[in-house]
Amino acid sequence: MRTKPGRSRLRLRSALVVATAGVMAAACTAGGGAASGPAEAPSSDQAVTIQVWSAFADRELGLVKDALDKYHAKHPNVTIDNQGSQDDDKITQAIRSGNPPDVAISFTTDNIGQFASSGAWQDLKPYIERDKYNLDDIPQAVRDYTEYDGKRVALPMLADVYGLYYNKDLLAKAGLTSPPKTTAELLDFAKKTTVKAADGSIEVAGFLPQMGFYAFKPQIVATMFGAKWIDKDGKSILGQDQGWKDMFTWQKELIDFYGWDNLQKFTAGLGQEYSADNGFHAGKVAMAIDGEYRTAFLADQTPALNYGTTALPTSKPENYGGGYTTGTIIGIPKGAKNPGAAWDLIKYLTSDTDALVGLANGLHNVPSTKTSLSSPDLKLGDTFKPFLDAFQNKNLTSNPASTIGDQYLKIVSDFGEAWQSGSNTDLGGGLTTLDKQIDDAKALGK
């Protein structure tokens, strides 16, 4: 469960990416990696202390400690220094200074391309091949967001899956007995469940299509329309892909239904995304995109809310059942002093079913192996089940890793904000311009 906005992996971290990019470039000059092959784990009579850095804090850091303590119980010779509140910027600066932790845990999958291309995180392929680590137990979409250009520098420790939350009472009041499965239905249901005052102001919104508000982010909504980001050569193809045109056209129809000024006034009066008065919590929004972790917030903050969860609606029925995924990633920084011990711990945290289930139950995230999904010890409730189902679905997707991190997401989001407000009305030309901006940013970042 996320306890504060800082846990949100989908917040556009352009400032962090800019700050991190410079030290990424210098990372390949910092301390050495495992050039002579994968390092061995320490023998049982060899005492070693390894540092684990993550951005976890407070209760969540304690849950990670519980998992690390279980590893220590199996390997009493390995002492683990568990340090929280360490974000990617701090980890990268430690790499640059030649004093990195042995294990790095990140919430920012969008930095994978930078970690891999700069050499800031070590390639795990030699360890995976030596120990016959079963990558097939991880869904393809998750394998995709933990590697870049054939280099695997991270493994997933837990995952987030995004689906649709719906207020059963508000749908029933509009005469709707089940949630939407298609984007056309979502548009129709949004209009039917919206309540407007006589002056046109919004009292209850069926669904909020405002770019950047809550979890309405381009990488998630693109999944709903099957929109493609890049071609086989890594070039941006937003202007060529029909999915993007369909997505922005769909969004604008709902924006126009509300009226841009009305929508702005309405969302300005809603609570923050991670507050108890979030619009969905308060019954002011009938349907909302969100991650599996929202179930924990609702149980804690609004236990009486009559809601359900389901897979994200899609423009093509054959794509229904999946969703968008991202998650927590874990790897070995360049220059780690105890890479062999670090790998053994990473292998445990990412493949041991008991470890993953314990973390998933405590943090209310999706365990990141197929095997762990069927564990009888997984206790996350009925509203969590659609996210587990989506995680196993062949239509699960993520956005591609890039050497410019999440900068390309920010570029698309900025266009979306101009498009929704009416300040940019040229959809085709705008998407073509996005391709040039993204490709130019990649070229500049090389």
Q: What integer is the mean pLDDT of 13-38?
A: 47
Biggest CA–CA distance in the chain, Å, is 77
Instruction: For 252-266, write each residue's pLDDT tens digit.
Output: 999 999 999 999 999
Q: Is residue 8 predicted with pLDDT exceeding 50? A: no
For residue 188, give both structure tokens.
Answer: 């129709």
Q: Is residue 2 predicted with pLDDT exceeding 70? A: no
Q: Quick check: 313 and 320 in contact, CB under 8 A?
A: yes
3-state secondary structure the chain: CCCCHHHCCCCCCHHHHHHHHHHHHHHCCCCCCCCCCCCCCCCCCCCEEEEEECCCCHHHHHHHHHHHHHHHHHCCCEEEEEECCCCHHHHHHHHHHCCCCCEEEECCHHHHHHHHHHCCECCCHHHHHHHCCCHHHCCHHHHHCCEECCEECCEEEEEEEEEEEEEHHHHHHCCCCCCCCEHHHHHHHHHHHCEECCCCCEEEEEECCCCCCCCCCHHHHHHHCCCCCECCCCCECCCCCHHHHHHHHHHHHHHHHHCHHHHHHHHHCCECCCCCCECCCCCCEEEEEEECCHHHHHHHHCCCCCEEEECCCECCHHHCCCEEEEEEEEECECCCCCHHHHHHHHHHHHHCHHHHHHHHHHHCCEECCHHHHCCCCCCCCHHHHHHHHHHHCCCEECCCCCCCCCHHHHHHHHHHHHHHHCCCCCHHHHHHHHHHHHHHHHHHHC
| Environment class of 181 (CB within 10 Å of its CB; exposed 0-12, middle 13-18, buried 19+) | middle
The alpha carbon of residue 299 and the mean position of all alpha carbons in its chain are separated, in whole angstroms, by 21
Q: What percent of the chain has pLDDT over 70?
A: 92
Q: Is residue 18 predicted with pLDDT exceeding 50? A: no
Q: Is residue 6 predicted with pLDDT exceeding 80? A: no
CATH number listed for the domain at residues 5-160+325-397? 3.40.190.10
Q: Where are the domains of the chain?
A: 5-160+325-397, 163-323+403-445
Q: What integer is the mean pLDDT of 265-288?
A: 96
pLDDT at residue number 444: 87
For residue 23, give both structure tokens.
Answer: 């030290």
Report phi then psi at 81, rounded to 5.
-95, 100
The candidate with the shortest Cα–Cα distance to 234, out of 443, 49, 419, 27, is 443
Q: Is residue 4 predicted with pLDDT exceeding 70? A: no
Distances (CA, A) of 68 to 39, 52, 64, 84: 21, 10, 6, 13
Across 11-25, 53-67, 75-89, 286-300, least confident range: 11-25
Q: What integer is the mean pLDDT of 415-436?
A: 97
Distance between terminal CA atoms of the chain?
Answer: 37
Q: How far apart are CA 317 and CA 135, in angstroms?
A: 29
Q: From the CB of residue 277, how many other CB atoms can be counted at a distance below 10 Å? A: 13
Planar angle of CA 245, 285, 242, nearest 5 degrees: 10
pLDDT at residue number 446: 59
User: Class assignment of domain 163-323+403-445?
Assistant: alpha beta
Instruction: For 100-132, write each residue's pLDDT tens digit.
Output: 999 999 999 999 999 999 999 999 999 999 999
* Sign, Cα dihedral of 243, 248, 254, 257: negative
pLDDT at residue number 380: 96
Beta-ladder partners of 331:
104
pLDDT at residue number 130: 97
pLDDT at residue number 36: 63
Q: Quick check: 180 and 287 in contact, CB under 8 A?
A: yes
The candidate with the shortest Cα–Cα distance to 156, out of 340, 304, 347, is 347
Planar angle of CA 302, 304, 310, nearest 5 degrees: 80
Instruction: For 69-83, write each residue's pLDDT tens digit.
Output: 999 999 999 999 999
pLDDT at residue number 37: 80
Q: Is residue 25 predicted with pLDDT exceeding 70? A: no
| Environment class of 5 (CB within 10 Å of its CB; exposed 0-12, middle 13-18, buried 19+) | exposed
pLDDT at residue number 254: 98
Q: Is residue 47 predicted with pLDDT exceeding 60? A: yes
Q: What integer is the mean pLDDT of 182-201?
A: 97
Q: Is residue 22 predicted with pLDDT exceeding 80? A: no
Q: What integer is the mean pLDDT of 344-370?
A: 97
Q: From the CB of residue 314, how many other CB atoms can be counted at a distance below 10 Å? A: 22
Q: From the CB of residue 317, how many other CB atoms can be counted at a distance below 10 Å? A: 11
Beta-ladder partners of 161:
325
Question: Comparing 5-160+325-397 with 163-323+403-445, is the CATH topology the same?
Answer: yes
pLDDT interval class at 214 (50, 70, 90): very high
Q: Is residue 7 predicted with pLDDT exceeding 70? A: no
The candidate with the shortest Cα–Cα distance to 327, out of 75, 81, 111, 131, is 111
pLDDT at residue number 161: 98
For residue 123, give both structure tokens.
Answer: 């390639």
Q: How far apart are CA 36 and CA 33, in angstroms?
A: 9
Report phi then psi at 314, rounded to 5.
-130, 155
pLDDT interval class at 406 (50, 70, 90): very high
